[in-house]
């Protein structure tokens, strides 16, 4: 994820996921200024993933505060 300001300058960037194909499908900003990200994950336990996969592709839903 990369957050840009109104001038197109990078405010922050963050990579989330594991070592396989993890894909964000939906990104929504929340009232508290954070984000909810929903997508699919094909990674096992590694990187930001703390749980093993349960199938070929798992649904992954995150709440990110946007603070680095």
29 within domain boundaries: yes
6 within domain boundaries: no
Average pLDDT over residues 3-11: 92
Query: Predicted confidence band at 66 (pLDDT cuts at 50, 70, 90)?
Result: low
8 within domain boundaries: no
Average pLDDT over residues 7-30: 88
Nearest to 14 by CA among 41, 32, 43, 34: 34
30/35 Cα distance (integer angstroms): 5
Average pLDDT over residues 22-42: 90
What domain range includes position 31?
A: 16-64
48/31 Cα distance (integer angstroms): 24
10 within domain boundaries: no
* Residue 63: its H or E element: strand 58-64
7 within domain boundaries: no
9 within domain boundaries: no
9/18 Cα distance (integer angstroms): 27
Domain count, the chain: 1
């Amino acid at each position: 994820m990369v957050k840009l300001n109104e001038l197109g300058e990078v405010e922050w960037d963050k990579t989330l996921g594991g070592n396989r194909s993890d894909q964000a499908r939906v990104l929504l900003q929340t009232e508290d200024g954070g984000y909810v990200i929903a997508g699919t994950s094909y990674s096992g336990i590694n990187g930001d993933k703390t749980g093993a996969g349960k199938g070929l592709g798992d649904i992954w839903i995150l709440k990110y505060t946007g603070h680095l």
